[in-house]
Every structure is written in structure tokens, then in C-alpha cells.
Amino acid sequence: MQYLTSQEVRALELKANTIRQSIIEMLTEAGSGHTAGPLGMADIFTLLYFGTLKHDPKNPDWEERDRLVLSNGHICPVLYATLAHAGYFPVEELMTLRKLGSRLQGHPHREALPGLETSSGPLGSGLSQAVGMAMAERMDNPYSSKFFYCLTGDGELNEGQIWEALMLAGRENLNNLIMIVDRNGIQIDGYTKDVMPLEPLAEKFASFNFDVQEVDGHNIRAMNDAIGKAQSVYSQPSVIIAHTIASKGVDVFERDFRWHGNPPGKGPEDRVTKDKQSEVALAKLRSLAGTIEAQDIS
Amino acid sequence: MFASHLQPNLSPEAVERVPTRNGYGEGLLEAGKRDNKVIALCCDLTESTRTDKFAQAYPERFVQVGVAEQNLASVGSGMAAMGRIPFIASYAMFSPGRNWEQVRTTIAYNNANVKLIGAHAGVSVGPDGATHQAIEDIAITRVIPNMVVIAPADVHEARKATLAAAKYEGPVYIRLGRSGTPVVTTPESPFVIGKAEVMYSRDESLEKKVGIVVTGSLLHNALMAAQELQSNGIGASVLHMPTIKPLDEEALKTFAQDHDALVTVEEHQIVGGLGGAVAEYLSSVAPIRIERVGMDDVFGESGEPDELIAHFGMDTKGIVAAAMKVS
């Protein structure tokens, strides 16, 4: 397991804050897209791309890279922003999100942008693809040190295909597969507990032969430790249920499912009027950044 | 006149009948021998889809996915992303039927090098009835960008199509049948993805000229129909189109220009399949009257394969009748 110093944790927190600001800016410019999931997952994406993954932004097709499959494609603003800040493409290109001719499609298109492992959007198929990748790798090299990370939403777990993939991964004891669930408790139509209850979720995963951990998805040190433990599980695939706060970082957007599919400027107005949403979100994030004492890691 | 490389005796009594899925089984085994990147995945239909020989020969490269066709398509896509050449097999009704969106997004949109094998296509599935008779699969695959669509005519062609698909880089759908299909071609007959071939040439001394365009399992019926038409004084040719996408436009245009009217023949809905593809293309480059033989907006039903083919007008008699209508 990789140890993070306090200084490194602070640097990752600062980077996550920068990525959140990019998310607000690109969504505002696009005028459509999802806000809650990307903000909520910014800490985890930052940890993965700046701490965990074996990857090379200058050589996206490097054969030995770990693979990160984003299954819930609608949170791609956080993936795009993280890839850009990691050096896959210019940060300025984030402003082309969802525009005609852009490589940053509304939902990820693998053939369009370096750094994407799959196309996604229709929910539930990313885990199957990660399972296929992990199985193919094991056929080639049973001692491979590559890991296959699959990020899913929690609403996405309504999809039957997820459970088909879990069955196969469990049967195959795919120890190179690490699934991370964004357990923010919301989906488009409301709270997950109302739309389609998932609990007891940990027990469900365990019954499919997965090693299960539940972690605060905003605690970078705890997430890092959980990923380290998942990597060390020898005989099973792993899942980390990352408890996150929808729209984390912008308190006036947090925990509200109505921010699932709306960009700043088009969200619910009970806490901030539409014309002020982008400006307020950026101001909140900038003031938060000011409280983080760290060297920039980029 | 028949193309020179066909079986010497094509009379209905003499012709051998072998399921096209057998050709897949042989081709897959050969492809697996030639290239260790070839992998086979199957959804609890290993023997029925003829994946079993490969599974026995290369157990480390065979994946039993269970009855989970959505997973089948996307696991295949993931394996292709790691440089493998996965053949994913089920009944056509379930793959690409049930898992169409996964085929579209995770295979075709990713341009993943996955080969889809849809067995038990057409009403000739027989007694299992309409739930298991895929008669829409050509339509739903050919409408997807990047996808190649092949309906082999017989066991030899199915074997060659399998080997060609393994070499081709990109998604391919191969449509197979359950019951015995007349063996028309020989192991030496040519097969190239995207190429159509005239398999029966009309007698040029006859005044009337009707062209039959056929895909898949009904090739023999089309050839018999052409022969019968000629004996009735109507010049008839057969263009065999095992690849529906990409359409061999040049061959089709030339064939259309050489005839007064066309009949398309397929064991599939007449909308969206071969008939649709031919009509779409020719309407803009060489407009011609077209009669389409196939399933006319109905579901299949239980029965013996030959009974069903005759019942739905796809037998020799039905093809002759369609040709008479336009000649």
C-alpha cells in the first residue's frame, strides 16, 4: 500500500478543489450536464489519477497502464477535468464540453479522446467491460500487477447487468478487479432509498464473493488505505462502497437530487437563484481552497 | 447456368443438408488454432451454438458466461479492449436481440473487435416457435455503424465467414441457422467479406429477365426457382449476397441493370433486411421494380422447418410466384 504524507493529502485536496472549479466552469459554459455526481467524486478521481493509477498521460496507450472504466458515463465532467489536469489534453479544451465537434462528448466516446478506456452512458455495462478486461489480462499473465478499476453510481445498481457482471467476477475470483461505488444516495427521480432501495448493499456484494469495504469517499487518506487493502485481497474481487455527498464542495448544492442532471444556472433556486449559481459555486470553492495548506502537485 | 465452383448435383433429392452452425464450430476451432488471441464466450448454449469443440480444445480460452447476454456483449468488448478476438455466441433472438444496446454502445461505438454469432436465426428454427425465431436480426445489426453483417448460405460458407471474421478488424455479426441447410458451395468456393456473386446466370436468349437477390439459408431455393423460371421461358439469374453490410453496391447495380425486375429473398422480415437494403440502394442509383420474399410483418410459429418456409412463401414455389408477378 502506498503511504500518503499529510502534505501529500493536502496537495490532493487542493487538486480536487481545482478540479471542482473546472467542473463548475465547464458545466456553466456547456449549459447542460450533470453537477452532483462529478462534484461528489472529485476527491476519488483526484486520488486515483494523482496517487493510485499506473498511467502515463503522455502515452495514453501504454500497455502496462492500469485501466479505469467509468461505468456511469454521465459524471464524465469529473473524468474530463481530472484527465486534463493530469496532462492528457489542454485544460482549456474543457470549455468545449458538449459542443459540436468537441472530443468531450456529453457522455464519453472512447474513440474520440485519449485516456478513455470505454464509451459509456447507458448504465450498467461498465462493470462487464472491466470484468472482460480483467479476465483477458489474467489469461495472458496470471502474475500481472495491472489493476482494473470500475467506477459505478449507486442508482446504476438498479441495472440487472451489474448483477450479471458481479456473478461472473465472483465466480472467477477476479482479484485484479476493484469496483468503486459512488454511494451518494441520490438518482434522477429522488433518493435511492425511495426509488429502489439497495440496502443491505454490503451484504449483497459479499454474497457475490466480493471483498467489501465501506469508506468516507471524501477522506482521501481513508480511500487510499481502502484501495491499498483492495489491491492486497488475494482470492476475491473487491468493492469499495464510497459514501459521498452529492455536489460536495458547494454547500448550497449539496445532498439535493435535483442537482443530479442540471448545470449551474439551471438548478433548483431555493438556496441560490439561477443567475448566481455558477458565481456562488466558484466563490465557495475558492474560499475552501484558501483553507487548504499545500503545495500544488501538478 | 450454375457457377462452376458449386456442388455438382444440386437437385433437391441429391443435395446434402447440414446446419450452418456446424460451419461456425469448425471455423472457430481453426481460427483458434491459427491465432491464440481468439477467445470464445457462450451463454449456456455451448453445444447448440457449436462452440463445444473449441471449448474442449482450448478450455483456457473459453468463457462460460451463463444465461446473461447483456454481460456477454460487454465482457466481449472488454476482452477486445485488451487485444483479444472474442467470438460471442448465443441465439440471435438473445444476442443481438436482448442485448442490442450493449452491442451498439459497448461493441460498435467502441469499434471493438468482437464477433457476434447469432445462432437459430430464421423461422427454420422450427418447433420452438416464434419466441426463438429471430427474423429481425439483420435489420437491427445493419443499422449500427461499424457493424459488418453476414448471413452465410451453407456450412462451408459459415466456416469461411468465421475465419474471415477472425482476420477482419472490427465488429462482425454472423447469422446462423439451426436446421439442415442445403450444401450448395464447396470448400473451394470463394468467400470474401463484402462480395456478392452471381451463382446462376440467365439464358440470354430469353426475352424476359428477372434477377433474384438472395442471402443466407435460402440460396438453394433461389437457385431452384431460377431453374424453374428458365424452364418456363423466363430468363432468371441469382445474385448471392452473403454480406448484407457492407453491401456490394457495384455488383448489385450491375445486376439490376442487367434485369427488368428483381426479387429479394431472405429468411427475415422484408423490412429492414436484405430487401430493404437492396431497395434503399437501388432506388437512388438504378431504380427497378422489386418484389420482396420473406416474412411480411408477421411472427413465425411452431412447425417443421420446411413446412414453415413453405407456409411463409419462402420456398421455391413462393420465389417463382414472386418472380412471375414482376415478369
Mind listing the pLDDT tens digit for each residue in A80-111?
999 999 999 999 999 999 999 999 999 999 99
Q: In angstroms, rounded to a whole number, what is the distance separating the alpha carbons of residues B166 and B57?
A: 17
So what's the pLDDT on residue B271? 97
A35, pLDDT greater than 70: yes
**Is some CB atom of chain A closer than 8 A to the CB atom of B95?**
no
Q: Give SS3 for B152.
A: coil
Nearest Cα to Cα of residue B291 among B246, B257, B250, B325? B325
Entry pTM = 0.96
Q: In angstroms, rounded to a whole number, what is the distance separating the alpha carbons of residues A268 and A293?
A: 33
How near does any CA of chain A get to the CA of B84, in Å?
A: 7
* B237 Cβ contact partners less than 8 Å away, ≥ 6 residues apart: B198, B200, B201, B202, B209, B210, B211, B212, B226, B255, B258, B259
First vs last Cα of chain A: how many Å apart? 22
Report cis status (omega within 30 of 0) of the bond before B96. yes
Q: Give SS3 for B58.
A: coil
First vs last Cα of chain B: how many Å apart? 19
Domain boundary among B153, B182, B211: B182
Residue B114 in domain:
yes
Q: Which residues of A touch B80 (CB under 8 A)?
A: 132
- Is B177 in the same domain as B202? no
pLDDT in tens, B141-169: 999 999 999 999 999 999 999 999 999 99
Give me B321's grid cell: 410466384
Q: Give SS3 for B60.
A: helix
- State yes or no: is B207 an active-site residue: no
pLDDT in tens, A157-197: 999 999 999 999 999 999 999 999 999 999 999 999 999 99
Q: Do B66 and A124 touch (CB under 8 A)?
A: no
Q: In angstroms, rounded to a whole number, what is the distance separating the alpha carbons of residues B278 and B265?
A: 11
Local confidence band at A1 (pLDDT 50, 70, 90 cut-offs) = low
pLDDT in tens, B4-47: 999 999 999 999 999 999 999 999 999 999 999 999 999 999 99
What percent of chain B has pLDDT above 90? 100
What percent of chain A has pLDDT above 70? 98
Residue B24 identity (one-letter amino acid): Y
Find the closest chain A residue to B67 by CA distance.
A164
Residue B123 in domain:
yes
So what's the pLDDT on residue B31? 98
Residue B249 in domain:
yes
Write the burial class of residue B125 (CB in 10 Å: 0-12 exposed, 13-18 middle, 19+ buried): buried
Question: Per-residue pLDDT averaged across B166-182, rounded?
Answer: 97
Question: Per-residue pLDDT averaged across A284-288, rounded?
Answer: 95
Question: Per-residue pLDDT averaged across B116-131, rounded?
Answer: 96
Find the closest chain A residue to B82 by CA distance.
A133
- Is B105 in the same domain as B231? no
So what's the pLDDT on residue A292? 84
pLDDT in tens, A117-166: 999 999 999 999 999 999 999 998 888 999 999 999 999 999 999 999 99
Q: Do A161 and B74 touch (CB under 8 A)?
A: yes
So what's the pLDDT on residue B220? 98
Q: Do B75 and A117 touch (CB under 8 A)?
A: no
Q: Do B70 and A117 touch (CB under 8 A)?
A: no
Residue count (chain A): 298
- Is B22 in the same domain as B136? yes
- Is B60 in the same domain as B170? yes
- Is B207 in the same domain as B167? no
CB-closest option in B71, B101, B109 to A168: B71
So what's the pLDDT on residue A291? 87
- Is B155 in the same domain as B226? no
Give me A46's grid cell: 483526484
- Is B163 in the same domain as B219? no
Question: Per-residue pLDDT averaged across B76-104, rounded?
Answer: 98
With a CB-CB cutoff of 8 Å, which residues 156-185 of chain B face chain A?
Answer: none
Q: Do B78 and A121 touch (CB under 8 A)?
A: no
- Is B53 in the same domain as B112? yes
Question: What are B115's strand-pairing partners?
Answer: B87, B172
Residue with the three cell numbers 447469432: B118
Find the closest chain B residue to A162 by CA distance.
B71
Domain boundary among B133, B151, B182: B182
Average pLDDT, chain B: 97
Residue B43 in domain:
yes
Q: What region, left, alpha or beta, does residue B313 occupy, with left being phi > 0 and alpha being psi -120 to 50 degrees?
A: left
pLDDT in tens, A216-229: 999 999 999 999 99
- Is B142 in the same domain as B213? no
A113, pLDDT greater than 80: yes
Q: In angstroms, rounded to a whole number, what is the distance separating the alpha carbons of residues A31 and A21?
A: 15
Q: Give SS3 for B291.
A: strand
User: How many domains does chain B divide into?
Assistant: 2
Eight-state DSSP code of residue B2: B
Q: Do B102 and A133 touch (CB under 8 A)?
A: no
Residue B178 in domain:
yes
How near does any CA of chain B get to the CA of A7, in Å?
A: 37
**Is some CB atom of chain B closer than 8 A to the CB atom of A246?**
no
**Within 10 A of B222 (CB to CB), how many other CB atoms are there?**
31
Bridge-based pairing of strands A186-187 and A190-191 is antiparallel
CB A34 within 8 A of CB A26: no
**Is some CB atom of chain A closer than 8 A to the CB atom of B119?**
no
Question: What are B290's strand-pairing partners?
Answer: B262
- Is B219 in the same domain as B141? no
Residue B147 in domain:
yes
Domain boundary among B121, B150, B182: B182
Cα-based distances in Å from A205 to A142, A179, A200, A229 = 24, 11, 9, 17
Domain ranges of chain A: 6-289
Average pLDDT, chain A: 96
Q: In angstroms, rounded to a whole number, what is the distance separating the alpha carbons of residues A282 and A265?
A: 12
Determine which helix (DSSP H) or strand (DSSP E) holds B67, and give its type and residue range.
none
Q: Do B78 and A130 touch (CB under 8 A)?
A: yes
- For position B215, which CATH number holds? 3.40.50.920
So what's the pLDDT on residue A297? 63
Sheet containing strand B115-119, strands side by side: B62-64, B38-42, B85-91, B115-119, B172-175, B148-150, B243-245
Q: In angstroms, rounded to a whole number, what is the distance separating the alpha carbons of residues B316 and B318?
A: 5
Residue B161 identity (one-letter amino acid): A
Question: What are B119's strand-pairing partners?
Answer: B91
A298, pLDDT greater than 70: no
CB B136 within 8 A of CB B268: yes
Q: How many H helices and E strands in chain A?
A: 9, 7
B118, pLDDT greater than 70: yes
Q: Do B82 and A122 touch (CB under 8 A)?
A: no
Q: Which residues of B touch A176 (CB under 8 A)?
A: none
Q: Give SS3 for B115.
A: strand
Q: Which residues of A touch B101 (CB under 8 A)?
A: 122
The single residue of B26, B69, B157, B267 carrying the catalytic annotation is B69
CB B70 within 8 A of CB A125: yes
So what's the pLDDT on residue B256? 98
- For position B148, which CATH number holds? 3.40.50.970
**Full residue range of the structural domain in which residue B78 is found:** 17-182
Find the closest chain A residue to B38 by CA distance.
A136
- Is B37 in the same domain as B136? yes
CATH architecture of A6-289: 3-Layer(aba) Sandwich (3.40)
Q: In angstroms, rounded to a whole number, what is the distance separating the alpha carbons of residues B156 and B50?
A: 14
Residue B8 in domain:
no
> B2-40 as b/e, with b when 16 or more CB fall inside 10 Å?
bbeebbeebeeeebeebbbbbbbbbbbbbbbeeeebbbb
How near does any CA of chain A get to the CA of B60, in Å?
A: 7
pLDDT in tens, B199-240: 999 999 999 999 999 999 999 999 999 999 999 999 999 999
Query: Which ipTM score applies to this complex?
Result: 0.95
CB-closest option in A117, A160, A168 to B81: A117
Local confidence band at A296 (pLDDT 50, 70, 90 cut-offs) = low
Q: Do B74 and A133 touch (CB under 8 A)?
A: no
Residue B261 in domain:
yes
- Is B174 in the same domain as B50? yes
